[in-house]
Structure 1
Amino acid sequence: MSNNDPIIEIEGLYTRFGSHVIHENISLSVYRGEILALVGGSGSGKTTLLRQMLGLETPAQGSVKILGHSRYDCGLELSRSLRNRSGVLFQQGALFSALNVYDNIALPLRELHCLPEEMIRDLVMLKLGMVEVAAEHANKMPAELSGGMIKRVALARALALDPELLFLDEPTAGLDPALSESFVKLIQTLRQELTLTIIMVTHDLDTLAAISTRVAVLADQRLVASGKLADIIKIDHPFIKDFFLGERGRNALRNALTLP
């Protein structure tokens, strides 16, 4: 793949649960090195679309290609390879409660069945350092961690296999403003250092304005807009006006886009 080729290609995607339509004929491309923010109202299918890119759910119709390969029509070995080239941070962190911090991060490395434990130890400590978590926390259990620490440990686990793609589901949800700003800066730093492509579901306009390079808007079961934030807010659509240009939206975007 060249740098100009989409790293993710979604074509003609439909999602239905019984008679309920979530997505109708969605097509979207994600390009290497960008941070694409997926936004939409409750029930618009943002997280469902993220899960379809990850191969955790299958659409009723349409195709999803990841790194040039079909996400659904590939064998077990290729599917595992694609999974290992992607990292995911779920909304609540999704750490295994019975495993300590060290073992949560080590788990994807151990599942490779080819690395000695000494190398796994070094890699776990490296990933902890990347997300600015001190080594002294490695033996703590998830129940002993703050919300911000859980996010960082989950991010370290998502980065364990040095993925090309990073999926973030509401990465700053539940964090206070100071912790949210700190986490956003961490993502920015990691994206630059690791040349990541990031797909992020978020309703947090401060996060979106701070780090997204492009925005995709889901509404009315469709992809109603895709482009730079400054262009998105000019589109005449009820959800876009309410989400971006209501009082909360204008306050969040005023500094980013010099709104009046």
Structure 2
Amino acid sequence: MITAECIIEIKGLHTRFGDHVVHKDVNLSIYHGEILTLIGGSGSGKTTLLRQMLGLEKPTQGSVKIFGSAPTNLSLQQKSIRSRSGVLFQQGALFSALTVFDNVALPLRELHTLSENMIRDLVMIKLNMVAIEPEHASKMPSALSGGMIKRVALARALALDPELLFLDEPTAGLDPELSESFVELVLTLRSEMDLTIVMVTHDLDTLVALSDRIAVLADQQVVTTGTVAEICRLQHPFTTSFFKSIRHKFDQKDYSEQTWKTAPTLS
């Protein structure tokens, strides 16, 4: 029995673009406090599913609920859902014409309820949380390294103190040292801010280091969910290929199954 609160619930989801079927009867639940990683081959519909969770696209059929409500329902409740969620887009997606400070300040200013003094204080707090020093606040994105862009984008995603965080290829383009540092930062923030995280990544090191559970999107469905060890042992063409380089590590008899880092209790 799962005792943790269900944060995202997807039921009977179908997605069709003309004659092309992307999803067929997708079902998935994501629980409070976990890091769930969505994996799948090229064209499996990972990005589309992520966009549907964000309310940027509507499925052809079925439902997506976040905090118990549909994210595409344009209402005050839907705006509340978005304020409770943050997104780190692939490559950071910082606004090139805005400084680091103004990129992070943007979601705070859109509230139209905070003074500039309060916004300044909150922005500097968020930058400090992701280890961006104050002297970098006035820089333009073009002056930042790849690792700094990721951290600033993460600060922007966390600007409104969200409960739910979406990470799209968070360590793509980073060297191994920066990638490991970013993973440690995400784990620290997850613990400090009590975050639920949904991630898409192709990076095996990031996946193994961060994932509580993995959902495998293949054959137009979520074919299974489980821990890294469980999914690594799955006999499916995609997972066999995806986990080929590390599969032997999970065949050791004395290997201890990965367990939840927080929240969901299974029995």
TM-score by length of 2: 0.91
Structure having the higher helix fraction is 1
**Distance change >3 Å, CA 251–CA 207, structure 1 → 2:** farther
Secondary structure of the residue aligned to 2:16 is strand
Q: Which amino acid aligns with 2:83?
A: N
The residue number in structure 2 matching 1:33 is 33
* 1:191 lines up with 2:190 in the alignment: yes
Q: Partners in 2 of 1:204 and 1:162 — Cα distance?
A: 27
The residue number in structure 1 matching 2:13 is 13
Could you report, residue by residue, the CA deviation over 1:26-63 in whole angstroms, capped at 9, with x for unpaired residues? 00000000000000111111111111100011111110
The residue number in structure 2 matching 1:171 is 170
Q: Partners in 1 of 2:79 and 2:256 — Cα distance?
A: 45
Name the structure, 1 or 2, with higher relative contact order (CA <8 Å, separation 6+). Answer: 2
The residue number in structure 1 matching 2:100 is 101
**Distance change >3 Å, CA 235–CA 253, structure 1 → 2:** closer
Could you report, residue by residue, the CA deviation over 1:95-135 in whole angstroms, capped at 9, with x for unpaired residues? 01110000000000000000011000000000000000001
Could you report, residue by residue, the CA deviation over 1:156-204 in whole angstroms, capped at 9, with x for unpaired residues? 0000000000000000001011110000000000000000000000011
Q: Which amino acid aligns with 1:132?
A: A
**Distance change >3 Å, CA 227–CA 258, structure 1 → 2:** closer
Secondary structure of the residue aligned to 1:36 is strand
Q: Partners in 1 of 2:50 and 2:80 — Cα distance?
A: 18
Q: What's the offset of the Cα at 1:69?
A: 1.0
Q: Is residue 13–residue 26 contact of structure 2 (8 Å, CA) maintained in 1?
A: yes
**Distance change >3 Å, CA 162–CA 3, structure 1 → 2:** farther
The residue number in structure 1 matching 2:64 is 64
Q: What's the offset of the Cα at 1:3?
A: 6.2
Q: Partners in 2 of 1:250 and 1:63 — Cα distance?
A: 35
User: What root-mean-square deviation, in Å, do the aligned CA atoms of Structure 1 and Structure 2 show?
Assistant: 1.9
Q: Partners in 2 of 1:152 and 1:77 — Cα distance?
A: 30
The residue number in structure 2 matching 1:47 is 47
Q: Partners in 2 of 1:251 and 1:205 — Cα distance?
A: 14
Q: What's the offset of the Cα at 1:253?
A: 7.2
Q: How does 1:1-260 map to 2 (within 5 A)?
A: 4-72=4-72, 74-244=73-243, 246-247=244-245, 249-250=246-247
Q: What's the offset of the Cα at 1:254?
A: 9.1
Secondary structure of the residue aligned to 1:123 is helix
Q: Is residue 53–residue 71 contact of structure 1 (8 Å, CA) maintained in 2?
A: yes
Q: Which amino acid aligns with 2:21?
A: V
Q: What's the offset of the Cα at 1:228?
A: 1.1
Q: Partners in 1 of 2:138 and 2:214 — Cα distance?
A: 39
> Matched residues, percent identical?
67
Secondary structure of the residue aligned to 1:70 is coil
Secondary structure of the residue aligned to 1:183 is helix
Q: Is residue 215–residue 226 contact of structure 2 (8 Å, CA) maintained in 1?
A: yes
Q: Partners in 2 of 1:75 and 1:54 — Cα distance?
A: 13
**Distance change >3 Å, CA 3–CA 88, structure 1 → 2:** farther
**Distance change >3 Å, CA 85–CA 203, structure 1 → 2:** same
Q: Partners in 1 of 2:89 and 2:167 — Cα distance?
A: 6
Q: Which amino acid aligns with 1:206?
A: D
| 4+ long deviations beyond 6 Å | 251-255
Q: What's the offset of the Cα at 1:92?
A: 1.1
**Distance change >3 Å, CA 3–CA 70, structure 1 → 2:** farther
Q: Partners in 2 of 1:228 and 1:250 — Cα distance?
A: 13
Q: Which amino acid aligns with 1:203?
A: H
